[in-house]
Amino acid sequence: MKPARASGGFFALVFLASTVAISLSARADEADWRRGRIYYRSVCTACHSGTPMGFIEPSSKTQAEWSAYLQADRHAKGKDTVRSYVSTAYRASIKSGNKAAERMAQVPEAELFEDIKAFLLRGAKDGEAPANCG
């Protein structure tokens, strides 16, 4: 008795399904620069527009400078952390006056931080799409 052979269609279907699964899992690990842009423009620039230093454009720094700044996690000359501004507590404290903070209230802190980082690196002076927020 000969063993049953699987049809070529079956293998094509398995290949397609595994390709889609790999593609979706890769996307799940990528930061969402668009969401980072919304948060940065709605939250970060809202505060910085009123300070003596004015807007802080993503294109004002290189990717290396933004990476170093975010890695150091020091904001306001070390008086606080960058991560504190993406914390759920901070978003809750400003959500009544900030729609982006309200919409993103349930986004995990680490995920939102990576989204903002993706936007800053993309919009950096040497990034894929140098951006300004003014």
- Domain of 115? 32-123
The pTM (predicted TM-score) of the whole model is 0.74
> How far apart are alpha carbons 79 and 101 in whole angstroms?
22
Identify which has the larger pLDDT, 126 or 133: 126
- Per-residue confidence band for 68, with pLDDT thresholds at 50, 70 and 90: very high
Report the domain count for the chain: 1
Asked if the structure places residue 98 within a domain, the reply is yes
Write down the pLDDT at residue 29: 55
Query: Is 6 a member of any domain?
Result: no
Return the ∠ at Cα 80 (arms to 101 and 98), rounded to 5°.
15
Is 109 inside a domain boundary? Answer: yes
Both ends of the chain: CA-CA distance in Å?
76
Euclidean distance between CA atoms 132 and 70, whole angstroms? 18
Residue 2 lies in a domain: no
Residue 17 within a domain? no
Residue 91 lies in a domain: yes
* Residue 133 forms part of a structural domain: no
